[in-house]
Amino acid sequence: YYGRLYGIGRRKVYRRTEELITLLELWSAGSIVDNLSGGQQRRVSFAVALLHDPQLLILDEPTVGLDPILSHSIWEHLLKLTIKDKKSIIITTHYIEEARQAHMVGLMRGGVLLAEDSPLQLMSRCGSSTLEQAFLELSTKQSGTRTNDDEFDSKEDYPELVKPKPRSPIHKGEIFSTSRFVAQLIKNLFFMWRNKPMMLFLFGLPILQCFLYNLAIGRDPKGLTIAVVNNELENGFAGCASLPSRGCHLDLPLSCRYIDELRTKTFNLIEFDNVTEANEYVRSNKAWGAVHIMHNYTEALLERISLMRDAPEEVVDLSNVNVHLDMSNQYIGNLLRADLVVSFVSFLKSVFKDCDWPEKAADIPIKIEDPIYGSRNPSFIHFASPAVLILFEFYLPVMFTVGVILQEKMAGILERSMVAGLTVLEIVTAHALIQFVVLLGQTAVMMVVMYKVFDSPFIGDFYVTTGLFLLVGVNGMCYGFLVSILAENMSMASFMGFGTFFPLCLTSGMVWPQEGMHPVLRSFGWLLPLSLSTEAIRSLTARGWTIWHRSVLYGYLSTLCWIAVFIVLIYITVRLKKGLRTTAK
């Protein structure tokens, strides 16, 4: 990887690798760095610094934690580089006597350069036999009252930094290099290969989420319990068993036919003797509603049908079916209310038909024709599935991007790579290519599960719909880059991710239609990243509109605009933070 960044040929990389492994007594080249000890990892880092044979080496305590023999070997190699290869090496160390091997030594204390000279000259000036004694002598003079400033050099004796700062010779002014891009691309591929559990999670999670969504949400509840009080029957439900379920038998209790109609809705009907007991059963959370049928119900219903507007009030009251529902659960309450009404209309139409009366006269005088879009029995699953897919398309790339970029950022790999010449454009391009391939696979499995396995409606153009899904994924990837740059650690990134997930989830139309939001929220909710794209997917899959329809076009334009916004924010953030380094400890 670093060989490609430095533009070194493959053969030279292998040769230098073997030389450095021998010099630094490292394990085999195939060892995983994470599996090495801390000392071994430092030596690997040192090897990377030596790999491209630089003219200038700046080393921060290269021998810390090493045994004396290996430390001596490293110093011998460094001295050889300076004498034979004419390299310049700057080393910081707390081992003062170790510095005697250097040609020039600078002693610092409290941010002040006390003296800078050859080791022998420093010891001679201080009248010391060791560098440590010389350092103590100079430190004593610094701490006390100094009468002779010539005893050591001051920081002010050195020239100021030349501005503008010269460009590193590694960069060569290139914004994009194919060699560095390929190196980053190969590194990302190795990262994916070595993190198989993570990749299984990234592909398994959308499949699991789509299955859970379709199996756990949107289906009408079955087997709901209803308490029934039928005062028309002397023997209760048992009396209905011997009565015919069809035919024009107006002298028999019609309430039995209504109860039979309710059973076709898979209700669990529990019989009670009086309304008080039935309502108490509902209050104890054992039933979702109580149905009360009055005595003389059949006689009153037939008289009401016959007299219509002339029917007395007492007849109207006796012909009513009184219902008390538990409306604490809005969905179940509304479902019961609708099923009770639909069941009554169906029961009444069957009576009219058996008696050769006009069957349509028993229906509600509103005729619902075939829908222009959708089916006669729409499902909440079909309504919410575009929002669910859009959320997955947006946040799965966020998870992958944050996981990869932030991990390398916290480990210092990104900063070191950029010091070696890698640019932000090369990092973004290499990751985007890998992420796009992953995104293609995730999109494919989600669409197969949602539209093939569970048969959600899809009547629009496949390529336009898939294109918008992928564009939303790119949008999520850009947001993931922004989070990776802003966050200093995984906790902060998690807060930023979850902090935006729920607002976008609630405003995208997944939980509730956007038309039902508060007017203030609706006034700006359409500006959020996923609002218009969700409606565009719904228009494509359920209505079959083309890309030139305003709803679909706005979804595309909104997504493109948010991609541009995130890219601009990434650029500004990188400039303000002066790179991708992290300050987390």
User: Which residue, among 496, 504, 500, 481, has the nearest Cα to 391 in the 3D structure?
Assistant: 504
Residue 549, judged by CB atoms within 10 A of its CB (0-12, 13-18, 19+), counts as middle
Helix or strand holding residue 270 (H, E): strand 268-271
The alpha carbon of 531 is separated from its chain's Cα centroid by a whole number of angstroms, namely 17
Two tokens, residue 131: 């560098």
527 residue type, one letter = L
Taking the C-alpha atoms of residue 443 and residue 433, their distance in angstroms, rounded to an integer, is 15
Taking the C-alpha atoms of residue 27 and residue 39, their distance in angstroms, rounded to an integer, is 12
What pLDDT is attached to residue 187? 87
Domains of the chain are 1-140 (3.40.50.300), 195-214+379-583 (no CATH), 224-362 (3.40.1710)
* SS3 assignment for 82-140: HHCCCCEEEEECCCCHHHHHCCCEEEEECCEEEEEECHHHHHHHHCCCCHHHHHHHHHH
Residue 532, judged by CB atoms within 10 A of its CB (0-12, 13-18, 19+), counts as buried
- Residues linked to residue 322 through DSSP beta bridges, in sequence order: 292
* Below-70 pLDDT ranges, the chain: 144-173, 579-585
Residue 220 DSSP one-character state: P
What pLDDT is attached to residue 238? 83
Look-up: residue for tokens 């998690």? Answer: 494
Residue 161 DSSP one-character state: P
Residue 167 DSSP one-character state: P
**Going by C-beta distance under 8 Å and a sequence separation of 6 or more, which residues neighbour residue 232?**
253, 255, 293, 294, 295, 296, 297, 298
Alpha helices in 361-423 (DSSP H): 380-411, 413-419
User: Which residue, among 487, 491, 486, has the nearest Cα to 572 in the 3D structure?
Assistant: 486
Q: 17-42: per-residue pLDDT in tens?
A: 888 888 777 777 777 777 777 777 77
Taking the C-alpha atoms of residue 70 and residue 231, their distance in angstroms, rounded to an integer, is 99
Taking the C-alpha atoms of residue 448 and residue 206, their distance in angstroms, rounded to an integer, is 11
321 residue type, one letter = V
38 residue type, one letter = G
What pLDDT is attached to residue 583? 58
pTM of this structure? 0.76
Taking the C-alpha atoms of residue 394 and residue 402, their distance in angstroms, rounded to an integer, is 13
Residue 413, judged by CB atoms within 10 A of its CB (0-12, 13-18, 19+), counts as middle
Residue 74 vs residues 28, 190, 215: alpha-carbon distances, Å: 19, 31, 64
**Going by C-beta distance under 8 Å and a sequence separation of 6 or more, which residues neighbour residue 82?**
88, 89, 103
What pLDDT is attached to residue 581? 64
Residue 251 DSSP one-character state: T
Based on C-alpha coordinates, what's the Rg of the chain? 39
- The SS3 of residue 322 is strand
